């Protein structure tokens, strides 16, 4: 009879266990993953360097030079106008005009190059709307993933609540005690300097009871520094009270253990 | 069987209720000076009057010395007496902890003194104010003239109880007192308490003196002076004033220092431009040559266990610091940084070696581990050298000279101290200009 009962119990609990494992998977809807749009973020400075900029820069430089030449070629005519028409051209002048003529031809020749360069240079070709749209899209996606993450972290925080303090709560408490603890300076560097203090707290963060866990070590010969260290830690806790504990959830933090260890600080 | 099932069920149910104790790791604290209240010592009404000094204010004077000692460490912050709310006589018996906590004190020193039958009896108590507990209570009896020393001893006891390492207040400093213009300096051997009081001059200033060093019992000082126009190592008994030349060396000897057991003097002996390190047993007067190298080996200093010697040598071309076994074997160079290294001194704790470094015309005082690693330069200046350790190995004392013009104007030499953390640099008050300090060990052990 009892054997049958036991088998029944074990078998049923196995089934319950398996259902517990599999049910959530069944309930969950298949996630429809949106396609990933990768956006490369480029830091925009006064002068932006894009990966293939060297080549572009070269072209831009050439174009600029050409433009300069064009300008300088356009300007001289005013001076030239001053020249007397009946003036006999000197051999040098002749050369100059020839060169100028040549140069005049150049801009037309490299026109396609200019266009290539302007893809990086000219603002009109840089479609800002498109980028803005891309960024917007990325933001949306980011927000969505963040939301998902938050959901996750919130649930994990809830789990942590059941067991300990949240990171920010722990940080607040730690920062408070950092400020109260005057570390004695005569400590040896190569000894174990861990002092564990167990506290019982009142709901307002004041100390009901404090206890040094490695009490025996305090009176060990050759470990006199330990007593001084432990006392300094106790003093820190007492000076700090009321401790900065979370306003709620007294049950979970009414007992706290503080592990004081200055070795990192002394070495650094 | 049912029991087992019941237990199984129970354990499954109680699974979720079990929780571990919340632990928080505290790995940092502050190094702010500890606020401490030093209440003036209560003078017992039955005390006798002594003509040499004012008995009624003695309690206050002692508390002032304690406060000054604490302040000089940089580790304590003695609170102003104006804020004290309890009178010394009552405070000594039972302090009202809440009142003292109110002024943000973490520790309280109270005390009482009585002069009877020409004996001074001082007792003190150190209170942990946050725990409302007595931490230490002691009493001392001595002749009334020793009242300053009592104050220093009390400071040491409190320092030890609060920091975990021994104090250094009941100590003396031997140094070279300097007076007169730069090119005609009169140099005397001088001795003072660690706080600059009770200065005594041990030599008259007829001969140049340099590099005084205490022996471990603080009764003898070895130093360099001139004998027949030749620099020689001397030995002086502080109590009797008897001095003698150490050893019968056919040339100049310098840079002396005692071994940790006080039985030997180690020094440099120079002959024909080459100097090596020698030791001499003070009882048997047997001389032993320790280094044998055609370079300048000098400034030897023993490790506290006496097994090793650190010294500086230019055997590699530039002056660097070396460590060897005390018999002269296993010589190992420990400094490799740029610049010149000199005057190595082994810490009384044994872990560090202090040194002077010269680099690009600037002088540094620094510390490093005894294997040469972990070099830390604590202070930089125009000219400074000759570090000497406090007996607890926490503070270094050295001297610093200022720049002078071609006529020697603007020149001065002063004693300075610095914590091995590089903080708390302070000038020590001396009656005259001073150089070559040497810190004694604790007078009361």
Q: What CATH number belongs to A167-267?
A: 3.30.1150.10
The pLDDT value recorded for residue A157 is 41
Tokens describing residue A124: 């009109």
Q: Does B373 touch chain A (CB under 8 A)?
A: no
pLDDT range class, residue B78, cuts 50, 70, 90: very high
Tokens describing residue B234: 């001397």
Residues of B in contact with A171 (CB under 8 A): none
Cα A194 to the center of its chain, rounded Å:
33
- Domain residue ranges of chain A, discontinuous segments joined by +: 53-128, 167-267
Tokens describing residue B63: 């508390």
Lowest mean pLDDT, pick from A8-12, A56-60, A80-84, B196-200: A80-84
CB contact under 8 A, B394 and A236: no
User: What are the pLDDT digits (tens) for B177-231?
Assistant: 999 988 888 999 999 999 999 999 999 888 889 999 999 999 999 999 987 788 8
* Integer Cα distance of A206 and A139 in angstroms: 46
Model ipTM value: 0.73
The pLDDT value recorded for residue A124 is 45
Residues of A in contact with B132 (CB under 8 A): none
Residues of B in contact with A234 (CB under 8 A): 130-131
Which of B419, B436, B435, B418 lies closest to B427 in space, CA to CA?
B418
User: What are the pLDDT digits (tens) for A153-177?
Assistant: 444 444 444 467 888 888 889 999 9
3-state secondary structure of A227: helix
- The crossing angle, in degrees rounded to 10, of helices A224-240 and A167-180 is 110
**Over 70: is that where the pLDDT of B114 sits?**
yes
| Nearest CB neighbour to B30, from listed A178, A187, A234 | A178
Q: Which range has the top average pLDDT, B107-111, B128-132, B203-207?
A: B107-111
State in Å, rounded, how far the first CA of chain A is from the last one: 69
For B18, the closest chain A residue by CA position comes to A163
Give the residue-averaged pLDDT of B111-136: 91
Between A112 and B308, whose confidence is greater?
Answer: B308
The pLDDT value recorded for residue A217 is 86
Distance from the Cα of A231 to chain B's closest Cα (Å) equals 9
CB contact under 8 A, A178 and B28: yes
CB contact under 8 A, A184 and B161: no
Q: What CATH number belongs to B172-439?
A: 2.120.10.30
Lowest mean pLDDT, pick from B17-21, B238-242, B362-366: B17-21
Q: What CATH number belongs to B34-163?
A: 3.40.50.10070
**Every domain range in chain B assigned CATH 2.120.10.30:** 172-439
Cα B235 to the center of its chain, rounded Å:
22
Cα A125 to the center of its chain, rounded Å:
33
The pLDDT value recorded for residue A40 is 59
The pLDDT value recorded for residue A135 is 59
CB contact under 8 A, B22 and A165: yes
User: What are the pLDDT digits (tens) for B314-360?
Assistant: 999 999 999 999 999 999 999 998 899 999 999 999 989 999 999 99
To which H or E segment does residue B115 belong? strand B107-116
pLDDT range class, residue A42, cuts 50, 70, 90: low
DSSP annotation of B182:
G
**Every domain range in chain B assigned CATH 3.40.50.10070:** 34-163
The pLDDT value recorded for residue A56 is 62
* Integer Cα distance of B248 and B415 in angstroms: 33
Lowest mean pLDDT, pick from A161-165, B48-52, B265-269: A161-165
The pLDDT value recorded for residue B404 is 86
Mean pLDDT of chain B: 90
**Torsion from C-alpha of A246, A250, A251, A257, nearest 10 degrees:** 60
**Over 70: is that where the pLDDT of A113 sits?**
no
**Over 80: is that where the pLDDT of B158 sits?**
yes
For A4, the closest chain B residue by CA position comes to B1
Residues of A in contact with B26 (CB under 8 A): 174, 177-178, 181, 233, 236, 258-261
Residues of B in contact with A175 (CB under 8 A): none
Residues of A in contact with B131 (CB under 8 A): 231, 234-235, 238
The pLDDT value recorded for residue B184 is 87
Give the residue-averaged pLDDT of B10-32: 70
pLDDT range class, residue B100, cuts 50, 70, 90: very high
Give the DSSP per-residue string, A209-263: EEEETTGGGGGSTT-HHHHHHHHHHHHHHHHHPSP---SS-HHHHSEEEEEE--H
Q: Give the count of alpha carbons within 13 A of B87, CB side only.
A: 3
* B residues 340-369 lying closer than 8 A (beta carbon) to A: 351
């Amino acid at each position: 009879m009892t054997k049958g009962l036991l088998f029944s119990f074990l078998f049923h609990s196995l089934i319950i266990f398996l259902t517990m494992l599999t049910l959530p998977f069944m309930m969950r809807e298949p996630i429809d993953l949106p396609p990933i749009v990768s956006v490369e973020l480029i830091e925009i400075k006064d002068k932006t360097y894009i990966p293939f900029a060297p080549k572009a820069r070269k072209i831009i430089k050439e174009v600029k030079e050409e433009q300069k030449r064009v300008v300088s070629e356009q300007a001289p005519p005013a001076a030239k106008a001053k020249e007397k028409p009946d003036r006999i051209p000197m051999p040098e002048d002749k050369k100059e005009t020839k060169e100028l003529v040549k140069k005049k031809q150049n801009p037309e020749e490299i026109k396609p190059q200019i266009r290539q360069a302007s893809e990086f240079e000219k603002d009109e070709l840089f479609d800002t709307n498109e980028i803005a749209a891309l960024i917007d899209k990325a933001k949306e996606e980011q927000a969505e993933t963040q939301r998902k993450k938050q959901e996750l972290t919130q649930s994990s925080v809830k789990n942590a609540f059941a067991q300990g303090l949240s990171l920010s709560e722990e940080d607040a408490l730690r920062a408070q005690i950092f400020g109260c603890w005057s570390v004695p300076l005569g400590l040896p560097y190569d000894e174990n300097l861990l002092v564990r203090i167990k506290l019982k707290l009142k709901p307002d963060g004041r100390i009901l009871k404090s206890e040094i866990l490695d009490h025996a070590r305090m009176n060990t010969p050759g470990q006199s520094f330990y007593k001084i260290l432990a006392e300094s830690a106790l003093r820190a806790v007492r000076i700090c009270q009321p401790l900065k504990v979370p306003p709620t959830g007294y049950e979970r933090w009414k007992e706290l253990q503080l592990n004081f260890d200055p070795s990192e600080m002394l070495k650094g | 069987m049912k029991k087992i099932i019941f237990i199984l069920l129970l354990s499954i149910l109680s699974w979720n209720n079990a929780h571990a104790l919340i632990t928080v790791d505290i790995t940092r604290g502050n190094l702010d000076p500890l606020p401490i209240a030093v209440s003036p010592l209560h003078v017992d009404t039955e005390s006798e009057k002594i003509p040499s000094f004012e008995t009624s204010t003695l309690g206050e004077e002692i508390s002032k010395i304690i406060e000054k000692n604490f302040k000089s460490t940089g580790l304590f912050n003695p609170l102003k007496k104006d804020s004290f709310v309890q009178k010394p006589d009552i405070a000594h018996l039972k302090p009202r902890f809440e009142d003292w906590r109110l002024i943000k004190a973490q520790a309280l020193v109270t005390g009482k003194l009585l002069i009877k039958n020409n004996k001074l009896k001082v007792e003190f108590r150190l209170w942990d104010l946050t725990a409302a507990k007595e931490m230490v209570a002691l009493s001392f009896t001595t002749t009334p003239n020793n009242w300053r020393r009592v104050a220093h001893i009390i400071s040491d006891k409190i320092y030890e109880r609060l920091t975990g390492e021994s104090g250094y207040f009941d100590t003396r400093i031997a140094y070279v007192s300097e007076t007169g213009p730069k090119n005609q300096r009169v140099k005397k051997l001088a001795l003072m308490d660690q706080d600059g009081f009770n200065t005594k001059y041990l030599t008259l200033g007829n001969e140049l003196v340099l590099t005084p060093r205490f022996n471990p019992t603080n009764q003898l000082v070895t130093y360099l002076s001139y004998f027949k126009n030749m620099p020689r190592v001397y030995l002086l008994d502080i109590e009797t004033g008897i001095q003698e030349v150490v050893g019968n060396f056919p040339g100049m000897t310098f840079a002396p220092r005692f071994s940790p057991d006080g039985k030997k003097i180690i020094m440099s002996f120079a002959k024909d431009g080459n100097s090596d390190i020698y030791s001499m047993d003070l009882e048997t007067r047997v001389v032993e040559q320790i280094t044998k190298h055609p370079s300048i080996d000098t400034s030897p200093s023993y490790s506290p266990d006496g097994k090793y010697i650190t010294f500086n040598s230019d055997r590699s071309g530039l002056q660097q610091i070396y460590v060897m076994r005390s018999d002269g074997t296993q010589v190992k160079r420990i400094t490799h940084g740029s610049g010149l290294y000199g005057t190595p001194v082994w810490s009384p704790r044994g872990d560090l070696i202090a040194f002077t470094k010269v680099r690009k015309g600037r002088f540094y005082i620094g510390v490093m581990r005894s294997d040469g690693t972990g070099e830390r330069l604590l202070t930089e200046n125009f000219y400074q050298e000759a570090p000497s350790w406090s007996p607890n190995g926490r503070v270094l004392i050295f001297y610093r000279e200022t720049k002078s013009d071609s006529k020697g104007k603007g020149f001065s030499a002063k004693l300075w101290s610095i914590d091995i953390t590089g903080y708390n640099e302070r000038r020590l008050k001396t009656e005259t200009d001073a150089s070559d300090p040497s810190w004694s060990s604790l007078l009361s052990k």
